[in-house]
Copies of this chain bind each other. A is one copy, B any other.
């Protein structure tokens, strides 16, 4: 898993851009070639390639070249590590609220 800080830095950084999130959105529906991925964007292929590199470096997307076509696909483990990082902190926070509610309920009984 990717719990070590630098990997999470890269995953959250990769997701902090709306074009990159749109690419992840597209790839969540299935693998795509680079040109299919680029199609909906009003962007040069070079800009698309740069976003793709950030996504690959983060481990969120994997690409594979077969012949002349590079195919991109989601790598769910990186997304899972980011999701779990958030959900653990939310769980801590909610547990704390529950404990507070217990303390208040206890106090009202007295």
From A23-31, A41-49, A63-71, the one touching the partner chain is: A23-31
- Determine how close the nearest CB of chain B comes to the CB of A54; give it in whole angstroms: 11
Q: Hey, which chain B residues are within 8 Å of A24, CB to CB?
A: 89
- Asked if A80 is at the interface (CB within 8 A of a chain B CB), the reply is yes
Q: Hey, which chain B residues are within 8 Å of A16, CB to CB?
A: 9-10, 12-13, 16
Q: List 6 A-B contacts (CB under 8 A).
A: A5-B18, A9-B16, A15-B85, A25-B89, A30-B96, A86-B86
**Which residues of chain A have a CB within 8 Å of any CB of chain B?**
5-6, 8-10, 12-13, 15-18, 21, 24-25, 27-30, 74, 76, 79-80, 82-83, 85-87, 89-90, 92-94, 96
